[in-house]
Chains A and B, each alone.
Chain A
Amino acid sequence: MTDILNALVIFANFVLVPGLAYGSQLALGALGVTMVYSVLRFSNFAHGELMSFGAMTAILTTWALQSQGIGLGPLPTALLALPVAIVVTIAVALIADRAVFKYYRKTRAESVIYLIVSLGVMFFLGGLIRFIIGPNDRVFTDGQRFIMKARSFKQMTGLNEGLAIKMSQGITVVTAFIMVAFVFWFLNKTRTGKSMRAYSDNEDLALLSGINPERVVMITWIITGALAAVAGTLYGLDKSYKPFTYLSILLPIFASAIVGGVGNPIGAIVGGFVIAFSELTVTFAYKKMLTYVLPETLAPEGLVQALSTEYKIALSFVILTIVLLIKPTGLFSGKTI
């Protein structure tokens, strides 16, 4: 019995807990991408940099707070900085829309033109970020590092294996839950949210019913900016902040959005967790876990790893391809792009 528990603890420690945190980050990112897609009808390649911008603002604010001696005790100061990051990122998103994207809405440009324009925004924001904070690694966690340490878990339960939960992981899951709950409440219960869904479903009909498209677009960017700021900060908090990583996280984010069904918010959330957990379960080495469960004679020799960890990124793409081939609308029947 303890063997099985030990095996489960290993699984929880290396797959479940990190997967929940990573999945939440992807889900928030994918939700932002999906919102832009369903209202503005293009894949926003600048979303990664938008997240990066939010994280950068959070870091700068955190530094300012730290230098004033303001902190949150056991919680990271970055949480206090989050509202500032959200406001600044929303401003950036709105400015980008005004200065760049609005023109193409007016001229009813093809979505592929939007796509390339968003590349321009990506370059610009990426450069601005590197200009302000530099290209190097920044660690900005402070406060308590662990909610539960592996050793105290062992003492508490008497098991051989420990379960560690980082503070950043706990905060990620809780914050992501609050954000997602808020977005869903907004989309489903408020008048503005309903008008947004109507606009996304049928633009012409929404216009006929007197919905102001510019207002819908503005609110979309506000929500997207907020989501991006939170997702970016949480990702940076969990994995350390480096401007360059936000381009490579774009791919799993797009994969999450498409796997779930582009344009479908629930799909984005589910997609995020599908991608996160499949990356972790496929690249996890099951050796130690199996030695607990299997009788000694059957104990595996190799690592029992389906794919080496370096190929994580490939996996999100493989899943994407399978979904595209089998069910192009995604798990939750989003729009077919």
Chain B
Amino acid sequence: MTLNRTPLLFAVVAVMFAAVGIFQSWNLAFTVLNLGLISAIMTLGVNIQWGYAGLVNFGVMGFIALGGLAGVLVSMPPVPGAWAAGGTGVLAGLAAGVAGIVASVITWKKTAHMGGKRYTIMAAVVLVSVVVFRMIIDPAVAAIESFESAKSGYLGGLGLPIMISWVVGGVLAAAVAWVIGKVSLGLRSDYLAIATLGISEIIIYAMKNEDWLSRGVKNVAGLPRPVPYEIDLQQSPWLIEFTQNWGLSIVDTSSVIVKVSYAALFTVVLLIIYRLSEIALRSPWGRMMNAIRDNEVSAEAMGKDVKAKHLQVFIIGSAVIGVAGAMLTTLDGQYTPASYQPLRFTFLIWVMVILGGSGNNAGSIIGGFLVWFFWVEAEPIGLALIELLTFAMADDNWLKLHLIKSAAHTRYIAMGLVLILVLRFAPKGLIPEVKR
């Protein structure tokens, strides 16, 4: 049964995208598909954490944003003036910050026997570290941010090809996940959920405010692309000839070609990550993770270091989410910290995982595609539904006007219903986990 269901569902998804292409436009279809592919990778990341190991990570948004930050740091050209103004100061400040954290951790570990005095000493160490850190970094940051602040006002990136940031984004997310995991793993699921939600908010706040790093809410636009630009395509002779022969619009065609190239790149990444996830799941490591998820006490009794394994799986899942975050920023061509909202980037991904089937990678991908599709198409569908329900009302009826204006919000209601109904009637999702 399960064997037959997977290709069927993929066929359904394909038909849906084809329908958008035929009835709306191919341009839109590929826009939806590209974001669907990215969503599917994010979903795989969450599935590794939740489906394999039962960890509740409500900080998905934070890791996506870290991936996006990697996009800026890798691909944008460096700003030499800003580096001259405060580059060394910032590096020294960051070094001081790291030293402060190390000092605090060492103090905390060494003072375990001291009882009440421990907290006083700890507070003093932390206070001194913060003051030193701020004294070194504040002037440097001010110098950087005032350097051509309308145009740059930040350090810039490394000027490397943006596809490198997909890897860097994963590494960055993994590094942050290690810190978060060290602090909050080992707590029970509710705490982990709240803690990760909080950390993701902090990451976004930091990105909005640390202008020297990524311009904060001033955004970074014009990130370089891994694929050709529409303008260049429109001037290339082969495309001009091709569109003339087939009687197509050159503007639309060039834009579709760009999106198809993105889709091809994303598909390759998705397939690689899917393959690796499957290998991991089928390996002894995957079976051990499931064992820990299903019965932590027994797994511990069998000699498994549950906390260390949780940390491992948390880092791996977060890295996958970070890769997807970098891809998202690549696709957007710009980095806008204010656009990261927990409903869209954390909880929506969770709906995808739950709908697709926790613990099943193919299911997660299907969930990613389906939920993303309905998230985009909820507005037209909701509108059509409202038109249908209110056809008897006059066109200037206030209720009808209000409902039509609010059609976009049906997507939240729909997602809530999906989550509630799936958990109630099909808690294993569309493609249930395969028990081996």
Contacts and interface: CB of A to CB of B under 8 A. Distances in A.
B310 to A, nearest CB: 14
Interface stretch (A173-181, A192-200, A307-315): A307-315
A268 interface: no
A308 B180 CA distance: 23
Interface in B341-357: 341-343, 347, 350-351, 354
B194 A116 contact: no
Contacts of A119: 347, 350-351, 419
B225 interface: no
Contact of B419 (A103, A117, A125, A244): A117
A43 B416 contact: no
B197 interface: yes
A88 interface: no
Given A117-B419, A130-B409, A255-B198, A324 B424 contact: no
A71 B130 CA distance: 52
A124 B206 CA distance: 30
A120 interface: yes
Contact of A127 (B208, B412, B423): B412
A308 B209 contact: yes
A236 B147 CA distance: 40
B189 interface: yes
Nearest to A124: B416
Q: Which of B202, B209, B350, B417 has the most CB of A within 10 A?
A: B202
Given A43-B190, A310-B209, A311-B209, A124 B201 contact: no
Contacts of A265: none
Contact of A123 (B54, B206, B419, B424): B419
Question: Interface majority SS on A: helix, strand, loop or mixed?
Answer: helix
B413 interface: yes
Contact of A126 (B56, B206, B208, B412): B412
Contact of A120 (B191, B193, B199, B423): B423
Interface string B188-225: 11110111011101100110110000000000000000
A11 B8 CA distance: 66
Contacts, number: 136
B412 A124 contact: yes
Given A42-B190, A111-B189, A251-B194, A120 B420 contact: yes
Contacts of B193: 43, 45, 112, 115
A337 B410 CA distance: 35
Q: Which of A103, A117, A124, A125 has the most CB of B within 10 A?
A: A124
Given A112-B189, A310-B209, A313-B205, A127 B411 contact: yes
A172 B358 CA distance: 44
**Which interface class (under 10, 10 to 19, 20 to 34, 35 or more) fits A?**
35 or more
Q: Which of A131, A244, A314 has the most CB of B within 10 A?
A: A131
B198 A131 contact: no
A320 B395 CA distance: 53
Contacts of B341: 244
Contact of A122 (B184, B206, B416, B417): B416
A124 B195 contact: no
A336 B409 CA distance: 38
Nearest to B406: A131
A320 B354 CA distance: 28
B63 to A, nearest CB: 16
Question: Interface majority SS on B: helix, strand, loop or mixed?
Answer: helix
A245 to B, nearest CB: 12
A296 B187 CA distance: 50
Contacts of B427: 113
A277 interface: no
Interface string B402-422: 000110011111111111100
Interface in A246-264: 247-248, 250-251, 254-255, 258
A278 B268 CA distance: 49
B164 interface: no
B262 to A, nearest CB: 29
A111 B56 CA distance: 11
Given A317-B202, A324-B191, A127 B415 contact: yes
Contacts of A128: 412-413
Contacts of A311: 202, 205, 209
A314 B190 contact: no
Contacts of B184: 321, 324
B343 A247 contact: yes
A124 B415 CA distance: 7
Contacts of A112: 54, 56, 189-190, 193
Interface in B333-371: 341-343, 347, 350-351, 354
A34 B187 CA distance: 18
B385 interface: no
A103 B191 contact: no
Nearest to B348: A123
Q: Which of A130, A258, A316, A328 has the most CB of B within 10 A?
A: A130
> What are the 5 tightest A-B residue pairs by CB atom distance, in nearest-first order?
A127-B412, A124-B416, A120-B419, A123-B416, A127-B413
Interface of B: 54, 56, 119, 130, 183-184, 187-191, 193-195, 197-199, 201-202, 205-206, 208-209, 341-343, 347, 350-351, 354, 405-406, 409-420, 423-424, 427
8 contacts: A43-B194, A111-B189, A112-B56, A119-B350, A127-B416, A321-B195, A324-B184, A326-B119
Given A247-B343, A317-B201, 14 more contacts: A112-B56, A115-B190, A123-B412, A124-B413, A124-B416, A124-B420, A127-B411, A130-B412, A134-B406, A135-B409, A248-B201, A251-B197, A314-B206, A317-B202
